Amino acid sequence: MTRAEKAERIRGILAALYPVPPIPLRHDDAYTLLLAVVLSAQCTDTRVNQVTPHLFARAVTPEAMARLTAHDIEAIIKPCGLAPAKARNIRELSRLLVERHGGAVPQDFEALEALPGVGHKTASVVMAQAFGQPAFPVDTHIHRLAARWGLSSGTNVAATERDLKKLFPPSEWAALHLQMIYFGREHCPARAHDLAACPICSWAATKRRAVRERARGRTDVAVPGHRRPRAAGQRAVRSGAR
C-alpha cells in the first residue's frame, strides 16, 4: 500500500468516526480562541475550558486585557501551568494587537507569529479554526500519530506538517487536525496502546514501528504479527521459542 493509499483509507475512517469534529477549546471569537490556544500549551483542553471563563469575565477584548497587570492575569490562569510566562505573553500580545492591528487578530501567519507566545502551531489553529484559512496545525500528538501510521518520516514537527499537507487536500486540513486529535485521545494513546485492536494501527503501523514502540516502552500489549515477550522466568514451550 502506498502512502497516498494509506492516507485515503485513514481519511475515510476519521471522517466516519468524526464527521463534524467540534473545536475542543471554548471561545467566542478569534481573540478568545487565540488566548485559549496560548493557555493550552502543556495543559489539557479541559483545564483551559475551566479557566477561560474566569479570565474572560475580567477582560474579553485586547484593550481590556492590556489594562490588567501580568500579576492579575497570572492569578487567574495559574491552574493552566507556566502561568508567569503565559500571563506576560497574554498581556503583551493584547497590547500589541491594539497598537499594531487596531485591536483585531490579524489574518496573517507572519503577523500572528510575531506576537509573544504565538508559535506556528498556535497561529495555524487560529488561521484554520477562526478564519477558515487552509492550515494544518501539527502538535506533538499529531506528529506521533503521523509517524505511527507511516504518513510521515517523523523527523520533526515541521516535516510532519509538510508530509500531511502533501497527502490531504487543503479543504480538509482543519477537520483532519481535529479528527486526529480526537482519534488519538479515544483510540490511539501514546502509552499502553493495543495496536492490534486500533482501527488504524492494526493495519497501518508497520511491524518494525510496532516493535520499536514496544522497545521504547510506549505499549505493553501485543504487537500485530509478533509474539508477546515471556514474563521473567517463564520457560519456552519448545526449543528455540522466543
Buried-exposed string 170-179: b where 16+ CB fall within 10 A, e elsewhere: eeebbbbbbb
Q: How confident is the model at residue 46 (pLDDT cuts 50, 70, 90)?
A: very high
Q: How far apart are the C-alpha atoms of 118 and 239, rounded to whole Å? A: 59
Residue 227, classed as helix, strand or coil, is: coil
Domains of the chain, first to last: 30-129 (1.10.340.30)
Structure-model confidence comparison of residues 112 and 153, the more confident one: 112
Average pLDDT over residues 211-227: 54
Q: Could you give the count of Cα atoms lying within 13 Å of 155 in the half-sphere of its Cβ?
A: 5
Tens of pLDDT, residue by residue over 60-82, are 999 999 999 999 999 999 999 99
Q: Using the Cα atoms of residue 139, residue 140, residue 145 and residue 146 in order, give the sign of their dihedral.
A: positive
Query: Do the beta carbons of residue 211 and residue 226 sit within 8 Å?
Result: yes
Q: How confident is the model at residue 236 (pLDDT cuts 50, 70, 90)?
A: very low
Average pLDDT over residues 57-61: 98
| Cα angle 233, 234, 238; round to 5 | 130
Which residues carry out catalysis? 121, 139
Buried-exposed string 201-234: b where 16+ CB fall within 10 A, e elsewhere: bebbbeeebbeebbeeebbeeebbeeeeeeeeee
pLDDT of residue 217: 59
pLDDT of residue 187: 95
Tens of pLDDT, residue by residue over 76-109, are 999 999 999 999 999 999 999 999 999 999 999 9
Query: Do the beta carbons of residue 98 and residue 62 sit within 8 Å?
Result: yes
Q: How far apart are the C-alpha atoms of 66 and 54, rounded to whole Å? A: 16
Model pTM score: 0.84
